Structure 1
Amino acid sequence: MNTWIAIAATVLGCYAVKVAGLLVPAGVLERPLVRRLAALLPVALLAALTAQQTFADGHTLVLDARAAGLGAAAVALVLRAPFLVVVGAAVLVTAGVRAIAG
């Protein structure tokens, strides 16, 4: 039964956030600080998720093939490669390091 309570609380929380977003006055959304935060927040969240998935294994900090793949993707981004090339470079380097490491 505790699982259903958690699900219901999550549903209500998500709905409350949606309603709160609709109730924000338009003038608040047009402020430069709010617009800047809205533009930068998704990038920061994606970077945090990428770092967590790359360098963490449960509660342990790890440095393995995923870090090499992330490095290859970063180099491809600096070189302004297309998105599919960035992903392909990350995949190939990660697979290569895993194959070499055994």
Structure 2
Amino acid sequence: MNNPVVLVAAALVLAGGTFALRLAGPLLRDRVSFPPRVERLMESAAVVLLAALVATTTLTEGHGLAGVARVAGVAVAGVLAWRRVPFLVIVLAAAGVTAGLRLLGVP
């Protein structure tokens, strides 16, 4: 499966499929309608999926727990994002807290 032609072809197929799916939204928006309740549920589902992704990547590493340092870093990032701090400051603060705790020996 290390054939470069196959890899390039697979990448092009994936790129085309991604483009088609992203284009389908604006093209079909006027043709497909959902009840207001379903639209609210779909908006909530996106938030729930994002929260689950953040929780999974924050709390686990491999097959075990990630440790306190990563959780503290994500918590700092969450508080700073809630306070509407610029994104670069959020990333640097979260990385700094995580690195500082790990430097102190906190897992």
TM-score (norm 2): 0.60
Count of residue pairs the alignment pairs up: 97
1:71 and 1:19 map into 2 onto residues whose CA distance is 36
Question: In the alignment, residue 25 of structure 1 is paired with which amino acid?
Answer: D
Q: Report the residue type matching 1:82 in the other structure.
A: R
Q: Would you say 1:81 and 2:83 are equivalent positions?
A: yes
- Residues 18-97 of structure 1 correspond to what in structure 2 (within 5 A)? 18-21=22-25, 22-25=27-30, 28=33, 31-57=35-61, 59-64=62-67, 65-74=69-78, 76=79, 81-84=83-86, 87=90, 90-97=94-101
- One-letter amino acid of the counterpart of residue 43, structure 1: V
Q: 1:73 to 1:100 in 2, by over 3 A?
A: same
RMSD over aligned Cα, in angstroms?
A: 3.2
- Identity score, percent: 34
Q: Aligned partner of 1:6: which letter?
A: A
* Structure 1: stretches of 5+ with no match in the other structure: none
Distance in 2 (alpha carbons) for counterparts of 1:43 and 1:16? 24
Report the AA paired with residue 71 of structure 1. A
The separation in 1 between residues aligned to 2:30 and 2:21, in whole angstroms, is 15
For normalisation by structure 1, the TM-score amounts to 0.62
